[in-house]
Amino acid sequence: MHDPHSERMSSGETRAASGLALVFAFRMLGMFMVLPVLATYGMDLAGATPALIGLAIGAYGLTQAIFQIPFGIISDRIGRRPVIYLGLIVFALGSVLAAQSDSIWGVIAGRVLQGAGAISAAVMALLSDLTREQHRTKAMAMVGGSIGLMFALALVLSPLLAAWVGLSGIFGLTFALALAGIAVVLWVVPAEPAQQSNAPRGRPAELLQHKDLLRLNAGVFILHTVQMAMWVAVPALLVSAGLAKDGHWK
């Protein structure tokens, strides 16, 4: 017999999807706000060069790539929430390090540490654990929507905030947003289900042999490469064309 309630997300699923979307939103807002201003305000840091600015922008993604799979494997063994807490704490510590640095190398170190808090896989796994299969795409769409909204919001807020509090203030705000994400996981996201020791687990080697997945990864890699290159080049081109850091044309 058809159950009309199965077509709607339960209150627990809605809470899980909205809470984890908020975790993503806080984390991505902090990250996105850094990108539009790092290439320009970062040149005021001691020892800054265009190449090192590019390294500071890309360092986050490098450590994300390194730690994403290990964090996912660990979350399979000890649970999602401990990994998410650890990742957000590491991200927050990286934000503090970057905020307190007055040299480009300190900011690079902070960005490396921020990226080491690679929790995306654990968050998406927790979302899958807390939602039924027929509602999983809706839950993931909520997460994707939150990321897109934060990206648009960051483009508007970042230059305004940077003119007011500077680059260190932007990193300080990312620290506060990481703490807010921890609070959401602690008080909003429902408890994760008990881990099943006999649950099937994939092997990392299988990921390198899956042709469809490799094509998807290649597409995402190219997309992010172009996007990060734009954040290095476009702000500097706008400044050289006469746009001041306060957003007004000279």
Q: What is the mean pLDDT of residues 129-142?
A: 91
Q: What's the pTM value of the predicted model, to 2 decimals?
A: 0.85
Please indicate whether residue 155 or residue 46 has the higher confidence score (pLDDT).
Answer: 46
Compute the distance between CA of residue 148 and CA of residue 65 in angstroms, rounded to an integer.
Answer: 21
**What's the pLDDT band for 197 if we cut at 50, 70, 90?**
very low
The per-residue pLDDT for range 63-107, each reduced to its tens digit, is 998 998 889 889 988 899 999 999 999 999 999 999 999 999 999
Whether residue 213 is predicted with pLDDT greater than 50 in this model: the reply is yes
The per-residue pLDDT for range 146-188, each reduced to its tens digit, is 988 998 999 889 888 988 999 999 999 999 999 999 999 999 9
Compute the distance between CA of residue 176 and CA of residue 49 in angstroms, rounded to an integer.
Answer: 29
The per-residue pLDDT for range 13-44, each reduced to its tens digit, is 999 999 999 999 999 998 889 988 888 888 89
Phi-psi region of 166 (alpha: psi -120 to 50; beta: other; left: phi over 0): left
8 Å CB contact between 91 and 117: yes
